[in-house]
Amino acid sequence: MLRKKIRTFTATDQEHEMLRVIARYHGFSGSATITSLIKKEFWRLFPAGNDLIRPDRGARVLDRARAIEGARSNDRGAGKPHAR
C-alpha cells in the first residue's frame, strides 16, 4: 500500500495563484501539476536518466546532444512578454 507523504514548499501568494490557475486549466490538483512539471523538467535535462532514475522500459530515449538542442530551441521564446 502506498502512503502519501506530506511535503510543503515556500511560494508567494502570486505563485500559489499561478499554480492554482495552471492546475485548474489542466484539470489537475496543485500537487499533480507540480509533479508533472518536475517530471517534464527532469526528462528535458536528463533524457537518458541519471544514476538513480532510469527511463521506463520501452521509452524512446533521444541522445543527449539532440535532446539538449531541442530543449534550447524550445527555450528561445522564454522570458519574452506574452500578448494579452
For 24-37, write each residue's pLDDT tens digit.
999 999 999 999 99
- What pLDDT does residue 65 have? 60
For residues 37-52, average pLDDT: 92
Cα–Cα distance for residue pair 82/46, rounded to 1 Å: 28
Give yes or no for residue 41 having a pLDDT over 70. yes
Q: Where are the domains of the chain?
A: 22-75
Cα–Cα distance for residue pair 34/22, rounded to 1 Å: 10
- What pLDDT does residue 56 have? 86
- What pLDDT does residue 82 have? 46
Instruction: Please tell me the pTM assigned to this model.
Output: 0.61
Whether residue 53 contacts residue 42, with contact meaning beta carbons closer than 8 Å, is answered with yes
For residues 28-55, average pLDDT: 92
Q: DSSP label at 75?
A: H
The label of the residue with cell 534550447 reads: 72
Cα–Cα distance for residue pair 66/71, rounded to 1 Å: 9
